[in-house]
Amino acid sequence: MLFTDALDRYLAEITPTKKLSTQRPERVKAETLRLFFGRYAMSSINIELANKYRDRRIAEGKKPNTVRLELALASHLFNTAMREWRIGLPQNPFAGMRKPSVGPGRDRRLSLDEEQKLRSKVASHSNPMMRWIFEIAIETCMRVSEITGLTPSHVDLNRRIVRLGDTKNGEARTVPLTQHAKAMFAVAIANPARPRDCNLIFAGEPGRDGIRRPYQFNKIWSRIKASLGIKDLRFHDLRHEAVSRLVEAGLSDQEVSAISGHKTMQMLKRYTHLRAEDLVEKLDRVPNNTGTA
Question: Looking at the annotation, which residues are catalytic?
Answer: 143, 168, 236, 239, 262, 271
Nearest to 142 by CA among 177, 170, 118: 177
SS3 155: strand
SS3 235: coil
Distances (CA, A) of 268 to 12, 34, 214, 261: 35, 35, 27, 9
- CA–CA dist 130, 236 (Å, integer): 14
How many Cβ atoms sit within 10 Å of the Cβ of residue 119?
A: 14
- CA–CA dist 20, 89 (Å, integer): 30
Backbone angles phi, psi at 166, to 5 degrees: -110, 95
Cβ neighbors of 182 (< 8 A, separation 6 or more) are 157, 160
CB 222 within 8 A of CB 170: no
How many Cβ atoms sit within 10 Å of the Cβ of residue 16?
A: 9
Handedness of CA 240, 241, 244, 250 (dihedral sign): negative
Question: Any alpha helices (H) in the chain, and if so which ranges?
Answer: 3-13, 20-37, 47-59, 64-83, 112-123, 129-140, 144-148, 179-190, 218-228, 237-248, 253-260, 265-269, 276-284
SS3 88: coil
